[in-house]
């Protein structure tokens, strides 16, 4: 194993992970021991090799918490799989020609790529919204203890694309008849919701929803909610642009969604194919 960190950087990472509310207690215990040992001038390479071995079993199963996963990738020299997402590029600095939209439609891993590849998209950020507490963690959200849903916040250039185009794509990516999740993603945190930031977005969202109802595309009621925006909390760095960092796993998930869409077609739940899933 090739260690690519220095003592000062590692101590800083360990300190932040120990204080991170998203770190699980057993992870925090291991990280605290490592931090204290480094502060006491323990052998750097030996200690990190031991820590890597302790974290490895759950890292291989993909069950470390997101920020600890990023640290493990740095520890093993695989930091290219989890580059830091630049939040500064996401927040608009051109209020005249930029707008934002927030959509929830199942796991946010599968919502990013379709929107990012549209013309006029400035940034797509995965996160949590619609809940009851500040700074929710991934574990809290997937345990359905906060009321949040996984969602994406999209910054777009209004000179190139329009909110209506985002709505059109959103309906293609989701099952608007499923109030209890999306495809293989089950639970309240995966509910389909359009979050609107003003009266204009609400009117356009309501219009597009009614058009979908009138189209007769679905044989079951359209249950996608339209709600006012609430604070959007960015997800951990591990989740940002997941399709680029973990292409193999992403393709498996995307394939499963497509298969479920085909299943719906075969059982006459949906009467027309979605262009995204062709």
Taking the C-alpha atoms of 46, 47, 52 and 57 in order, what is their torsion angle to the nearest 10 degrees? 100
In a domain, residue 2? The reply is: no
| Domain-embedded: residue 277 | no
Which structural domain range is residue 30 located in? Answer: 7-81
Residue 278, domain member (yes or no): no
The pTM score is 0.79
CA pair distance 95, 271, nearest whole angstrom:
40
Q: How many domains does the chain have?
A: 2
Residues 173 and 104 in one domain: yes
Q: Are residues 14 and 42 in the same domain?
A: yes
Residues 31, 143: one domain? Answer: no
Asked if residue 134 belongs to a domain, the reply is yes
Active site residue ranges:
107
- Tell me, yes or no, whether 237 and 120 share the same domain: yes
241: CATH? 3.30.1060.10
Is 239 part of a structural domain of the chain? Answer: yes
Give me the residue label for tokens 């951990």.
236
Q: What phi and psi, each to the nearest 5 degrees, are found at residue 11?
A: -60, -40
Average pLDDT score over residue span 267-278: 50
- CA 38/CA 53 separation, integer angstroms: 17
Helix (H, G, I), strand (E, B) or coil at 124: strand
Q: Could you read off the pLDDT of 149-195 as tens digits, one per residue?
A: 999 999 999 999 999 999 999 999 999 999 999 888 899 999 999 99
201-258 per-position pLDDT tens digit: 999 999 999 999 999 988 889 999 999 999 999 999 989 998 888 888 888 888 877 7
| Listed residues 49, 81, 113: the one ending a domain | 81
Q: What DSSP string describes 139-195?
A: HHHHTT-S--EEEEEEEEETTT--HHHHHHHHHHHS-TT-TTEETTEESGGG--EEE
Supply the DSSP symbol for 120.
Answer: T
């Amino acid at each position: 194993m090739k260690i690519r960190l220095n003592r000062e950087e590692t101590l800083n990472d360990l300190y932040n992970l120990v204080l991170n509310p998203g770190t699980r207690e057993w992870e925090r215990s291991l990280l605290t021991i490592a931090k204290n040992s480094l502060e006491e001038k323990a052998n750097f390479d030996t200690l990190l090799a031991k820590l890597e071995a302790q974290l490895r079993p759950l890292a291989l199963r993909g069950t470390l918490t997101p920020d600890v996963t990023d640290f493990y990738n740095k520890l093993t020299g695989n930091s290219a799989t989890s580059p830091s997402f630049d939040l500064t590029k996401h927040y608009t600095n051109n209020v005249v020609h930029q707008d934002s939209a927030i959509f929830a439609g199942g796991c946010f891993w599968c919502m990013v790529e379709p929107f990012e590849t549209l013309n006029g998209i400035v940034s797509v950020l995965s996160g949590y919204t619609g809940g009851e507490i500040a700074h929710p963690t991934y574990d809290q959200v997937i345990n359905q203890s906060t009321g949040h849903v996984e969602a994406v916040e999209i910054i777009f250039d209004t000179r190139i694309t329009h909110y209506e185009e985002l709505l059109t794509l959103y309906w293609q990516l989701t099952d608007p008849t499923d109030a209890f999740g999306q495809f293989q993603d089950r639970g309240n945190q995966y509910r389909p919701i359009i979050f609107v930031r003003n009266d204009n977005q609400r009117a356009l969202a309501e219009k597009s929803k009614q058009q979908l109802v009138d189209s007769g595309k679905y044989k079951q009621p359209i249950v996608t909610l339209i709600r006012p925006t609430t604070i959007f909390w960015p997800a951990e760095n591990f989740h940002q642009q997941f399709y680029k960092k973990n292409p193999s796993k992403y393709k498996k998930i995307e394939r499963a969604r497509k298969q479920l869409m085909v299943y719906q077609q075969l059982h006459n739940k949906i009467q027309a194919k979605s262009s995204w899933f062709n």
